[in-house]
Chains A and B, each alone.
Chain A
Amino acid sequence: MIEQLVPAMVEICGPDGVVTDPLDLRTYECDGLTSHRAAPGLVVLPRTAEQVAAVVRVCAAAKVPFVARGSGTGLSGGALPRTDGVLIVTSRMRRIIAIDPASRRAIVEPGVTNLSVSAAARPFGYFYAPDPSSQQVCSVGGNVAENSGGAHCLKHGFTVHHVTGLEIVTPAGELTWLGDGTGAAPGYDLVGAFIGSEGTLGIVTKIIVKLTRIPQMVTCLLAAFETTGAGGAAVSAIIGAGIVPAAIEMMDALAIEAAEAAVACHYPQGAGAVLIVELDGPEPDVRRDGAAVRALCEQAGSTEIREAVDPAERAIIWAGRKSAFAAVGRICHAYIVQDGVVPRTALGPVLDEIAKLSAESGIRVANVFHAGDGNLHPLVLYNDDAPETVAAAEELSGAILDLCITHGGSITGEHGVGVDKSRYMPKMFGADDLDTMQLLRCAFDPGGLCNPGKVFPTPRLCGEVPGARRGVHPLVASGQAEQF
């Protein structure tokens, strides 16, 4: 079936834009979530929006599912290919079309890496604010699909707050603009609805982003605490004082130990937790807030505080935090990166409960998290030679998500649902909620061909009456979707 599409795809993308060799196809079999793998039926590497549209039209006519992929750094399997489908890789679409400081906008293609937007804007005094930790390699198109945030989204917001226009290829293969770059175009906010839809509503081919003024001053404080509870109290005090830092990050003892072993970041020895608080903005305000944060950390029992203003010193403070995931990989090469959110005020009790779960199961958990917005990244460590610890780690990881839901939080703060968490969606949302979201899906993709099987646990056929589910789902029966 898929092979029959090859001549049409070669016609569209050229012979060097179509991958059919089984060995080459395997290099695309997973994204950053390596536990899910599926070699794509076919890979295409278009260079233009028109080529993407033509590829999608061929898929739509043949009723072949398609999945878009940027840099493949996603952590929820959102770009997991379909063995019976086409993987549309946007990495060759990497033109920075315009950097427009006068209107504080940039226009880029989806394969452009996140950091290169900021690099291009820097000479004009601007940057692109969303900064996912993979920003050196992740693509802006992927950021749009995932509504990516980053450490600094506490103050600066997510991708959805920084995008004012999208050119997309609809699942029917039509090229259309959503929004006009002003951020105030008439009609429904389809830009807002599209961002974070994890590639299920279409494929983005151009992105208009806002550029943000590089702040006058940035300061970074590192505060050590005896416990994560004391660090959490400092976070609450900072927020309670009306201060909005650019970022507030926390690491627990195990994460600190791992980072020390990996990059010798020289965080205060024996600390039970470190807090990194970054402030940015006009100098008078940053100085005042910096002094206030220092005082609040001291009041919360901080054992040591360091402050860095210049970029090199700040980089030293951040080195430990930024290395944390990889560092944990050095002390235990198999681990699950969890991504859950709790209301900031529930951080203390939730961390206690995670510690309890960890002690009960004997599974170690290193905590690295965006404390300012309650976004936890527990790293659940296990021994992948022992099947029983794999299962126990997965169980613990799932129990952490249950904790997030119980405390009124979310099953994902930034990694997305993808294939990884679609089975948790019914725990967070009711059937009516999911059916209502599905209406948006049906408006964009009535045929159910655009990244099917992601985000939602049981895709409902467009036009199907909700509630009347009997027998095998037609999409499942036809092999177009999997039931979880």
Chain B
Amino acid sequence: MAGDAVLRALAGACPAARPAEAGDAVAGVTPRYAASPASVAEASAVMRVAAEQDLTVVARGSGSRLDWGAPPRSCDLVVDTLRLDQVVEHAAGDLVARVQAGVGLRRLGEVLASAGQQLALDVGPGANGQDPAGTATAGGTLATGMAGPRRLRYGTPRDLVIGITVVRADGTVASAGGKVVKNVAGYDLGKLFAGSYGTLGLIAEAVFRLHPLPTAAAYTTVDGASPADAHRAVAAAAASELAPTAVEISRAGRGGPVRVGVLLEGDPDGVGERAGQLRQLLGEGAVTSPDAPSWWGRTEPAPGPAGGGPEASGGPEATGGPEAAGTLIRVAFWAAALPAVLATIDRAAEAAGLDPLVAGSAAAGVIYVGLGAGAGPAAVAAFVANLRAAIARGEADARPASAPAPDSPPVLASAVVVYAPPPVREQVDMWGPVPGLPLMRAVKDQFDPGHRMAPGRFAGGI
């Protein structure tokens, strides 16, 4: 059988190659084969066979975000990176770590913490619903480009990756960057691969810049603010000299009170003093705790009918259990647009009969709209369409008066569906409009001329 010949060829490249099982499905697409290379050389050999056999390929780490993005148009082979699990080098004196793609961030965090250091990335949104075991890998985090509240201070994976080794669609192993932070030799392919959802090649190794672990943290919160008050609090914290690590908001329902939280990090004395100044800045009702509030970093509404809103119309297939993930939409905007963005979300939700959780990194201009698993697919699709139409009309823009288009980009905001249950996925364009798409297609064509790497997963159908 032809399939056996393919499997033999894969097994020749990587002993841990096998027929795929139901559990290997990628967003509902079941592959024929799965391979778990134990070295970069094996990964290269597997990819070479995939090229020879014209197999479509999806890379997988822990699988905690495998249902993110659009489902692949085709997936013949899943390449699992979990055996690429070496922390190759932790150069503590240089604040740099080189890791293989399959290293779990939690494990890496433990290794780095022993030297008082960290890879300053939160596991990211949906952590509570999507990755309860904290298994997310370095490769998967880089491939999805995701970051959590501390993105305000540390940025996203693209800001922390300083070197990368990839296996291209044809099996070629290539590196860019290096293991020094300051380095401008050659193109920075780490940036290109960050957030590329596996569509350009397999990320095999990455070198990250590290930061010292702070010895103290203080979360100062204000609850019950109106959107206008919340915006004032967010803007005041972000504009302060207090160097916040994160400025987050959370609002449980349409028109409801907005919670604002500000994370300060450093040493105990400094953090204590700054938290005092921050409370004065935020005014009455501000309280400080060493622990994160329960809503911190949470983007999924609490399970149950309320999550999808009182008008949610989920059928039996859409309700799911308490573990079932709903729909998560990422809205990016210029920070000054926060009140307009909240109002835009509300109008779109009201028209669709939904009552979402809105939470995220307000000062960094990235917030999430969480719709529970109970929200009906048609309602979610209507919400996404309403929201994108409003964004296209500029309703979520905070465009400086002196910079009308074309002195600034045509639209200053975006809405991307990060993940959604299958019935919702069938009804929405996960990515929406993408600026600069022709160049992105050209990049894809160069790196993966056969369009075999995670075809259809990415923006614009890439």
Closest CB in chain B relative to A439 CB, distance in Å:
4
Q: Which of A3-11, A181-189, A354-362, A378-386 contacts B (4 or more CB under 8 A)?
A: A181-189
Closest CB in chain A relative to B91 CB, distance in Å:
6
CB pair A213 B431 closer than 8 Å? no
B interface footprint on A369-384 (CB within 8 Å = 1, 0 otherwise): 0100111000000000
CB pair A284 B436 closer than 8 Å? no
Q: Any chain A CB within 8 A of the CB of B411?
A: yes
CB pair A284 B270 closer than 8 Å? yes
CB pair A343 B91 closer than 8 Å? yes
Minimum CB distance partner of A100 in chain B: B400
Complex: A71 Cα to B266 Cα, angstroms: 40
Q: Any chain A CB within 8 A of the CB of B366?
A: yes
Complex: A100 Cα to B443 Cα, angstroms: 32
**Residues of A contacting B439 in the complex (Cβ-Cβ under 8 angstroms):** 170, 176, 178, 190, 443-444
Q: Any chain A CB within 8 A of the CB of B53?
A: no
Given contacts A104-B335, A432-B174, A442-B446, whether A188 and B435 have CB atoms under 8 Å apart is: no
**Residues of B contacting A412 in the complex (Cβ-Cβ under 8 angstroms):** 183-185
Minimum CB distance partner of A375 in chain B: B182
Q: Any chain B CB within 8 A of the CB of A240?
A: yes
Query: What class of interface size applies to chain A in its complex with B?
Result: 35 or more
CB pair B273 A284 closer than 8 Å? yes
Complex: A236 Cα to B166 Cα, angstroms: 32
Closest CB in chain A relative to B453 CB, distance in Å:
13
**Residues of A contacting B402 in the complex (Cβ-Cβ under 8 angstroms):** 97-98
CB pair A187 B408 closer than 8 Å? no
Q: Which of B77-85, B188-196, B307-315 contacts A (4 or more CB under 8 A)?
A: B188-196
Q: Any chain B CB within 8 A of the CB of A242?
A: yes
Q: Any chain B CB within 8 A of the CB of A480?
A: no
**Residues of B contacting A102 in the complex (Cβ-Cβ under 8 angstroms):** 235, 335-336, 398
Q: Any chain B CB within 8 A of the CB of A345?
A: yes
CB pair A184 B366 closer than 8 Å? yes
**Residues of B contacting A175 in the complex (Cβ-Cβ under 8 angstroms):** 406
Q: Which of B4-12, B55-63, B326-334 contacts A (4 or more CB under 8 A)?
A: B326-334
CB pair B184 A182 closer than 8 Å? no
**Residues of B contacting A439 in the complex (Cβ-Cβ under 8 angstroms):** 443, 446-447
CB pair A443 B182 closer than 8 Å? no
**Most-contacted residue by chain B among A153, A170, A187, A188 (CB, 10 A):** A188
**Residues of B contacting A425 in the complex (Cβ-Cβ under 8 angstroms):** 185-186
Q: Which of B29-37, B240-248, B292-300 contacts A (4 or more CB under 8 A)?
A: B240-248
A interface footprint on B143-177 (CB within 8 Å = 1, 0 otherwise): 00100000000011011000000101000111110
Complex: A339 Cα to B172 Cα, angstroms: 30
CB pair B186 A103 closer than 8 Å? no
Given contacts A104-B335, A181-B412, whether A186 and B191 have CB atoms under 8 Å apart is: no
**Residues of B contacting A428 in the complex (Cβ-Cβ under 8 angstroms):** 178, 185-186
Given contacts A185-B332, A186-B434, A192-B188, whether A242 and B158 have CB atoms under 8 Å apart is: no
Minimum CB distance partner of B336 in chain A: A102
Q: Any chain A CB within 8 A of the CB of B440?
A: yes
CB pair B437 A187 closer than 8 Å? yes
Minimum CB distance partner of B235 in chain A: A102
Minimum CB distance partner of B183 in chain A: A410
Complex: A190 Cα to B441 Cα, angstroms: 11
**Residues of A contacting B191 in the complex (Cβ-Cβ under 8 angstroms):** 160, 189, 192-193, 195
Q: Any chain A CB within 8 A of the CB of B460?
A: yes
Q: Any chain B CB within 8 A of the CB of A436?
A: yes
Minimum CB distance partner of A342 in chain B: B180
Given contacts A102-B398, A436-B172, A436-B174, whether A282 and B242 have CB atoms under 8 Å apart is: yes
Q: Any chain A CB within 8 A of the CB of B432?
A: yes
Q: Any chain B CB within 8 A of the CB of A165?
A: yes
Complex: A189 Cα to B435 Cα, angstroms: 11
Given contacts A97-B407, A193-B187, A343-B94, whether A432 and B365 have CB atoms under 8 Å apart is: no
CB pair A160 B334 closer than 8 Å? no
Given contacts A182-B332, A188-B443, whether A413 and B274 have CB atoms under 8 Å apart is: no
Q: Any chain B CB within 8 A of the CB of A125?
A: yes
Complex: A288 Cα to B195 Cα, angstroms: 38
Given contacts A216-B241, A343-B91, whether A370 and B182 have CB atoms under 8 Å apart is: yes
Given contacts A184-B365, A437-B189, whether A345 and B184 have CB atoms under 8 Å apart is: no
By a beta-carbon cutoff of 8 Å, the part of chain A in contact with chain B is 49, 97-105, 107, 125, 146-147, 149, 153, 157-158, 160-161, 165, 167, 170, 175-190, 192-193, 195-197, 206, 208, 213-216, 236, 239-240, 242-244, 281-282, 284-285, 288, 341-345, 370, 373-375, 408-417, 421, 425, 428-430, 432-437, 439-444, 455, 462
Could you list some 10 contacts between A and B, CB below 8 A? Answer: A103-B336, A175-B406, A183-B332, A184-B365, A196-B188, A215-B243, A342-B180, A416-B184, A429-B185, A432-B172
Known: A99-B400, A161-B155, A443-B443. 13 other contacts (CB 8 A): A49-B406, A97-B403, A98-B403, A100-B336, A102-B235, A170-B439, A187-B459, A193-B191, A213-B243, A216-B242, A412-B185, A425-B186, A428-B178
